[in-house]
Amino acid sequence: MLASYLIKPGTIELRETPVPKPSMGEVLVKVKAALTCGTDLKAFLRGHPMIPMPGIFGHEFSGVIAEVGKGIKDFKAGDEIMAVHSAPCLKCRYCKKKLHNLCENIMDTKVLGAFAEYILLPSHIVKQNLFYKPANLSFEEAALLEPLSCVVHGMHGLNIKKGDRMLIIGTGPIGLLHLSLAKLKGAEVIITGLEQERLELAKNLGADVTVLPSGLISAIDELTDGLGVDFVFECTGQIDVWETSVNYVRRGGTVILFGGVKKGTIVTYDTYRLHYDELTLKGVFHFTPHDVKIAYNLLKDTLNLSPLISGSYPLKDLHIALNKLSKGEGMKYAIIPSLSAISSA
């Protein structure tokens, strides 16, 4: 089979490798669509601690089961499926506390390699996070299960209600996924970003106010009569944005720090503001199987997220898609192995 290897930042090789054979409880998936994401882009541009180099990468995917290992009863060859690339171990100290997204083993047992003709899913993922793809979803839309699960997790427990006012900082795919969920909950949403084209897309997806950063404070003042928003979602992973996020929230409000920054990074906040205005700052990471089930049902029954997919490329042109994203062109690209000019399938 053909698989894309990230050799070093900026260098991808398409290699011929053996097709994996599923063992007990495992499932081999023929990839129909794999989506680019911000983590892939970071790895491509400068490396990423969670993506070893040289190595296979890509983790948002959907496909058709090619072969099942012994012990699999609920799935068979030919089933169209959607899945995520990780699942908790259910045995570690954090899993016993029901903090499944913080499982001590979840990052060590995740699966990379969706930018390939086949991907092998281990038993812990098959048991917890593998689903039948409904006929009404394209393979490209089904591959959004993983990022949507992350966003569902970030909003979990916030009790966002109709009429709440929310600021989303960042108009990338994650920001627009937050927007889609917020509108389902009835929130009024301001979204800010640097690219006018993305702001237009946000408007089409239901944003109440779209604004460049230069006009953000006046837009918030106008929408909230100077009070500040109830929730801020930071979706850029930029240090300065982490620090300024608290400037836009009302007293008693909540700031969700979704965008990841480099380990060891230090940010500074005004302690008076945090303490006397009783602000909540919350970091969020990954997702639980419960979040994945919610995301699955949203994709199946409620959300139309096809506008987030900007186009498609064969495996051999993955670097073209990533280079376009690095220039701010497009949102997410679908990598379709069957489009490959060279194919071992």
**DSSP states of 256-297:** EE-S---TT------HHHHHHTT-EEEE--S--HHHHHHHHH
Q: Using one digit for the tens of pLDDT, what is the confidence trace for 185-223? A: 999 999 999 999 999 999 999 999 999 999 999 999 999
**What does pLDDT average to over the chain?**
95
Q: Using one digit for the tens of pLDDT, what is the confidence trace for 271-315? A: 999 999 999 999 999 999 999 999 999 999 999 999 999 999 999
In this predicted structure, what is the pLDDT of residue 307?
A: 95
Q: What is the pTM of this model?
A: 0.95
Angle between helices 145-155 and 173-184 (to 10 degrees): 60
The per-residue b/e assignment along 71-100, b for 16 or more CB within 10 angstroms, e otherwise, is: ebeebeeebbbbbbbbbbeeebebbeeeeb
Cα distance between residue 118 and residue 116, in whole Å: 5
In this predicted structure, what is the pLDDT of residue 345?
A: 34
Let me know if 341 is exposed, middle or buried by CB neighbors in 10 A (0-12, 13-18, 19+). exposed
Let me know if 214 is exposed, middle or buried by CB neighbors in 10 A (0-12, 13-18, 19+). exposed
Cα–Cα distances (Å) from 77 to 28, 30, 324, in that order, read 9, 10, 35
In this predicted structure, what is the pLDDT of residue 48?
A: 84
In this predicted structure, what is the pLDDT of residue 340?
A: 57
In this predicted structure, what is the pLDDT of residue 341?
A: 47
In this predicted structure, what is the pLDDT of residue 342?
A: 40
Could you tell me the domains of the chain?
2-144+305-339 (3.90.180.10), 158-283 (3.40.50.720)
Walk along the chain (345 residues) in steps of 10 and give the mean pLDDT of each run: 95 96 98 95 88 94 98 96 98 98 97 97 98 97 98 95 97 97 97 95 97 97 96 96 97 97 93 97 97 98 95 96 94 91 39
CB of 128 closer than 8 Å to CB of 87: yes
Contacts of 42 (CB under 8 A, 6+ apart): 48
